[in-house]
């Protein structure tokens, strides 16, 4: 039996976001504890973060805690979204000096627990961030193609390199977690933040399974705002593109003016054909201008949200062994 008071033992904390996963929790936890028994020389904490689930997830989590004291349950006061749920879990463990590494994974069994144990091995070899890279995935064609398009765009725009085919399934050394929790932006794109932080990062290939039960908590609406956070948070290229487009259109209009003048000068009996071109041009330019205002507005909206500086999330429950419970940070 491992001695929990032994300080030389390394401690791994799992951060596990939960949104409407009532039928997955028990199976997931069984699979995870089973997988981690391979390394009984390590101490574990399983931090489940209930992200305002509407089903019986919270009750299931509290049941888990009764049976397994290594389970910590955080509950957000409403649904704040996956990125903030993970942030809440990371904040909790970042404040705990006894935690040596943190693993973030989904609780729908899409990220295989056994892979997380392989991540621990790489970490012990000195890698600070081990991210799970999907060798294959069983998502719908729609999800895969939109993800592909998003990363294609992001790759071209973003100032940092954000690995493709990588979700938030990853292991982070405590030093990295401490850095990540200093990033307090509201429109969060965690995988970008982790890439931004640096340290030694390596991929671990794995096959992503299908969701075990229930349905995805990432409908198109959430996917779009997630993608926007990725692009807006890590690139100002769209803003620069506006001025480039403006320059291009201005140059084009100079050419057009030269054409009009030369027709007037060299062929005075011919008139420059007009209204159809004007009409189309007007709508085209009007459209372009509105879109560009939208781009500026989107950045401005982000500035506004960040300026309000509201807390990122609110906790309604913290159930953790022993420790005095820190409140959420700003």
8 A C-beta contact, residue 279 and residue 270:
no
Nearer to Mg ion, 91 or 106 (CB): 106
Our finding on whether 108 is near Mg ion (CB under 5 A) is yes
Q: Is 136 helix (H, G, I), strand (E, B) or coil?
A: strand
Task: Tell which one of 81, 132, 192, 233 touches ligand UDP (CB under 6 A).
Answer: 81
Which of ligand UDP, Mg ion, none lies near 51, with the C-beta cut-off 5 to 8 A by kind?
Answer: ligand UDP
- What is d(CA 319, CA 71) in angstroms, rounded to the nearest whole number? 9
- What is d(CA 146, CA 269) in angstroms, rounded to the nearest whole number? 55
- What is d(CA 273, CA 13) in angstroms, rounded to the nearest whole number? 72
Which residue number places its CB atom closest to ligand UDP? 217
- What is d(CA 17, CA 89) in angstroms, rounded to the nearest whole number? 8
8 A C-beta contact, residue 128 and residue 172:
yes
Our finding on whether 218 is near ligand UDP (CB under 6 A) is yes
- What is d(CA 70, CA 6) in angstroms, rounded to the nearest whole number? 16
- Report the nearest approach of Mg ion to the CB of residue 60 (Å): 17
Query: Nearest CA to 163 among 129, 186, 117, 137?
Result: 129
Q: Total residues contacting ligand UDP (rule CB under 6 A)?
A: 17
Nearer to ligand UDP, 286 or 311 (CB): 311
Task: Tell which one of 11, 60, 82, 191 touches ligand UDP (CB under 6 A).
Answer: 82
Nearer to ligand UDP, 127 or 227 (CB): 227
Per CB under 6 A, contacts with ligand UDP among 177-216 are 211, 216
Our finding on whether 298 is near ligand UDP (CB under 6 A) is no
Nearer to ligand UDP, 36 or 107 (CB): 107
SS3 content of the chain, % helix, strand, coil (to 5): 50, 15, 35
Our finding on whether 91 is near ligand UDP (CB under 6 A) is no
Our finding on whether 17 is near ligand UDP (CB under 6 A) is yes
Task: Tell which one of 11, 15, 21, 203 touches ligand UDP (CB under 6 A).
Answer: 21
Task: Tell which one of 13, 71, 73, 85 touches ligand UDP (CB under 6 A).
Answer: 85
Our finding on whether 18 is near ligand UDP (CB under 6 A) is yes
- What is d(CA 78, CA 81) in angstroms, rounded to the nearest whole number? 9
Cβ neighbours of residue 169 under 8 Å, at least 6 residues apart? Answer: 104, 105, 106, 111, 115, 116, 131, 132, 206
Selected range binding ligand UDP among 65-73, 104-112, 198-206, 302-310, rule: CB under 6 A: 104-112
- Report the nearest approach of ligand UDP to the CB of residue 87 (Å): 11
Cβ neighbours of residue 106 under 8 Å, at least 6 residues apart? Answer: 16, 17, 167, 168, 169
Our finding on whether 51 is near Mg ion (CB under 5 A) is no
Q: Bridge partners of 117?
A: none
Nearer to ligand UDP, 76 or 180 (CB): 76
- What is d(CA 266, CA 259) in angstroms, rounded to the nearest whole number? 10
8 A C-beta contact, residue 39 and residue 117:
yes
Which residues would be at the binding site for Mg ion (CB under 5 A)?
106, 108, 110, 211
Which parts of this chain interact with ligand UDP (CB under 6 A)? 17-19, 21, 51, 79, 81-82, 85, 106-108, 110, 211, 216-218
């Amino acid at each position: 039996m491992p001695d929990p008071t032994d300080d030389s033992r390394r401690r791994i904390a799992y951060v596990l976001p939960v949104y409407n996963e009532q039928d997955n929790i028990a199976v997931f936890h069984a699979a995870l504890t089973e997988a981690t028994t391979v390394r009984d020389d390590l101490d574990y904490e399983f931090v489940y973060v209930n992200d305002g689930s509407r089903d019986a997830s919270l009750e299931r989590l509290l049941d888990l805690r009764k049976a397994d004291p290594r389970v910590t349950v955080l509950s957000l006061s409403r649904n704040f979204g996956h990125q903030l749920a993970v942030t809440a879990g990371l904040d909790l463990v970042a404040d705990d000096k006894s935690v040596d590494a943190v693993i973030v994974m989904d609780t729908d069994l899409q990220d295989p627990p056994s892979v997380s144990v392989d991540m621990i091995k790489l970490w012990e070899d000195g890698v600070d961030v081990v991210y799970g890279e999907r060798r294959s995935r069983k998502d719908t064609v729609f999800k895969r193609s939109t993800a592909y398009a998003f990363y294609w765009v992001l790759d071209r725009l973003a100032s940092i390199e954000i690995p493709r085919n990588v979700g938030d399934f990853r292991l982070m050394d405590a030093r990295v977690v401490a850095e990540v929790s200093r990033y307090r932006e509201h429109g969060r794109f965690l995988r970008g933040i982790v890439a931004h932080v640096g340290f030694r990062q390596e991929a671990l290939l794995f096959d992503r399974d299908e969701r075990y039960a229930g349905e995805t908590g990432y409908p198109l609406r959430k996917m779009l705002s997630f993608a926007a956070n990725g692009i807006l948070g890590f690139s100002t290229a769209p803003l620069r593109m506006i001025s480039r487009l403006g320059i291009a259109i201005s140059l084009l209009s100079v050419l057009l003016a030269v054409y009009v003048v030369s027709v007037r000068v060299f062929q005075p009996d011919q008139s420059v054909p007009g209204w159809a071109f004007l009409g189309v041009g007007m709508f085209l330019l009007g459209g372009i201008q509105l879109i560009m205002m939208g781009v500026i507005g989107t950045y401005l909206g982000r500035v506004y949200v960040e300026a309000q500086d509201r807390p990122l999330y609110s906790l309604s429950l913290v159930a953790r062994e022993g420790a005095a419970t820190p409140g959420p940070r700003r």
